[in-house]
Amino acid sequence: MVEELTVGETNGRANAALLAETPAQDGRPGAVYRSAGDRFLLAEFGPMELDLTLNFRVLGLNQALKDAGIAGVIETIPALRSILIHYDSTVLEPSDLIAAVDRFYAALPPVEDLIIPSREISLPLAVNDQWTRADIAKYVQFIRKDAPNIRDGNNIDYAAEYNGLRDAEEFVDYLMATPWWNAANGFFPGLPFMFPLDPRYAVVIPKYNPTRPWTPEGAVGIAGPCLAIYPVPSPGGYQLIGRTIPIYDAQQRNPAFAENPILMKPGDRVSFTRVTDDELIALREQVYDGSYTYQIGDGSLNVGAYLARLEEIKPETEAFKRRQGEAAERTPVP
């Protein structure tokens, strides 16, 4: 049941933004509903932790809300553990919207019963490539000379040390060993926020400080536990690992973009295949001339089977977390 708190009040209340909350129940994490202005409602689920099962619930609920077509709801924006709901408050009362969302949340099947449509996408990755190295060199020249996250003109040696891995090669092996789950698109058009599905390889790296004014289109970066691909040249704070092929094409020239200029969807699983710089140049040429076929297969994620697998590998996951934690403590932060 939703406990309504302060809808419609302003001064003199206990909490400025909290509109309602539903306690955790029957294994279902609690839900919190927050005001995000008069046209948006932020629905948050569970604690502020990195837990992909929260994202599985979010994507399930997001689909249910889309299918329901609630009058007055303009669109929904899922993220890792939340959904931002864009609505017209002149026709839909926030309390009615909260009640509807909470009803759909309560009606979601247990997370282990969810089967989430999830495409498998394979992308080439040129590791420590010439284009990201050029922007890192500019950063050293113009922004920060003594950045601890840059060694020999790259971020990967630092990333390896921060995670307690032997060397850059082992770090790249880790990145290749897990599929990456796209939890949300956002910030720039089509930028995926991806998380490792196999926690035995869940690397973590701090962000740039200060941020980097330049990043090549197609750059692959990691910050915190999140891996992003830059759809357009832009500033960025993620540690750069390599470069892949375009994932956004505003002019929709390659057939992969015919229906949508954006390649990635939430719920996609991405795996990387290592290529050389020269191979990446050739692949990019194929994308540009329209002859490249993006490697995309249909599929789904069986959450129950996935959670069972997590249990099996738990000792290895814990072992890596310990190794990683010890290394992080002795490694400087940018």
Residue numbers of the site for another protein (CB under 8 A)?
7-11, 14-18, 34-40, 42, 44, 48-50, 74-84, 86, 89-90, 94, 184-191, 193, 207, 224, 226, 231-232, 250, 260-262, 266, 333
The rounded distance, in Å, linking the Cα atoms of 155 and 61 is 37
CB of 165 to another protein, least distance (A): 21
> Closer CB to another protein, residue 98 or residue 240?
98
In the complex with another protein, which residue's Cβ is closer, 32 or 327? 32
Considering the complex, what minimum distance in angstroms separates the CB of residue 282 from another protein?
A: 26
Residue with Cβ nearer another protein (139 or 195) = 195
Least separation, in Å, of the C-beta of 100 and another protein?
16
- At its nearest, how many Å lie between another protein and the CB of residue 48? 6
Instruction: Spell out a b/e string for 268-285, using b for 16 or more CB atoms within 10 Å of the CB, else e.
Output: bbbbbeebebeebeebbe
126/334 with CB nearer another protein: 334
C-alpha–C-alpha distance, residues 118 and 182, integer Å: 9
Sequence letter at residue 137: A
φ/ψ (deg, to 5) at 125? -135, 115
Minimal distance, residue 35 CB to another protein, in Å = 4
DSSP, collapsed to helix, strand or coil, labels residue 1 as coil
75: left (phi over 0), alpha (psi -120 to 50) or beta: beta
- Cα dist from 78 to 21, 55, 61, 266, whole Å: 18, 8, 9, 8
Nearer to another protein, 114 or 226 (CB): 226
> How many residues are given for the chain?
334
User: Shortest Cβ distance from residue 325 to another protein (Å)?
Assistant: 13
Q: Are 183 and 52 in contact (CB under 8 A)?
A: yes
Could you tell me how far CA 327 lies from the centroid of its own chain?
24
Nearer to another protein by Cβ, of 130 and 260: the residue is 260
Peptide bond into 266 cis (omega under 30): no
User: Quick one: DSSP state of residue 110?
Assistant: P
Of 15 and 300, the one with the shorter C-beta distance to another protein is 15
Work out how close the CB of 262 gets to another protein at its nearest, in angstroms, rounded to a whole number.
5
